[in-house]
Amino acid sequence: SGATQYYPNGAVMTYCNIFVYLFLQRLGINIDVLLGVDWRNNKPSVYYTPISLFLKMMETHGIADEVDFIKGQNFAKFGCPVVVIAPEKYGSDGKIIDAGHIALVYPQDEIQKNEIDVMISGAGSRAVWGLKSCYDAFLKFGYKPRYFHIRGK
């Protein structure tokens, strides 16, 4: 219907987190440990997982290793999933002014030496969906992306 939907924390829902979750699930990688809990049924739910929670859980749950963008491209090139993520931005009043973004590093034959040229695959707002450069998906919006190699099972 075109109506804006929001996460429970007030962030605008753009579906980038759902894309990453479903893509990893199709690869046989269960990341339910990274998800927030739906208070209605007490089960993990991607719909209750803002980007900052994904990031916090990746840092603490031992299923991912943080890598630089060059190592991230190398992992992706050889078929290993690499998540690229930047958390929400908050205004001085504490309210969310940007929902953050999460995507996947797209495998390329050639490893890019400049982060702006790293290719990213994701979903979300029109500004970031599809295959984009890291510049177009993250850097031009002022994000400082972080890269995580998901070890999987």
Instruction: Please say if the pLDDT value at position 13 is more than 80.
Output: no
Task: Look at residue 115 in the predicted model and tell me its pLDDT.
Answer: 96
If you write DSSP's letter for every residue of 59-92 in order, what string do you get?
HHSSSEEEE-HHHHHHHHHTT--EEEEE--EE-T
Q: For the whole model, what pTM was predicted?
A: 0.85
Q: To the nearest 10°, the Cα dihedral for 23, 26, 30, 31? A: 10
Is the distance from CB of 103 to CB of 20 less than 8 angstroms? yes
| pLDDT grade for 2, boundaries at 50, 70 and 90 | very low
φ, ψ (nearest 5 deg) of residue 140: -70, -15
Task: Look at residue 149 in the predicted model and tell me its pLDDT.
Answer: 95
Helix axes 16-26, 51-60, angle to 10 degrees: 40
Would you call 149 helix, strand, or coil by DSSP?
Answer: strand
* pLDDT 10s digits, 54-111: 888 888 888 889 999 999 999 999 999 999 999 877 778 877 777 788 999 999 999 9
Q: For the chain, how many helices (H) and strands (E)?
A: 4, 10
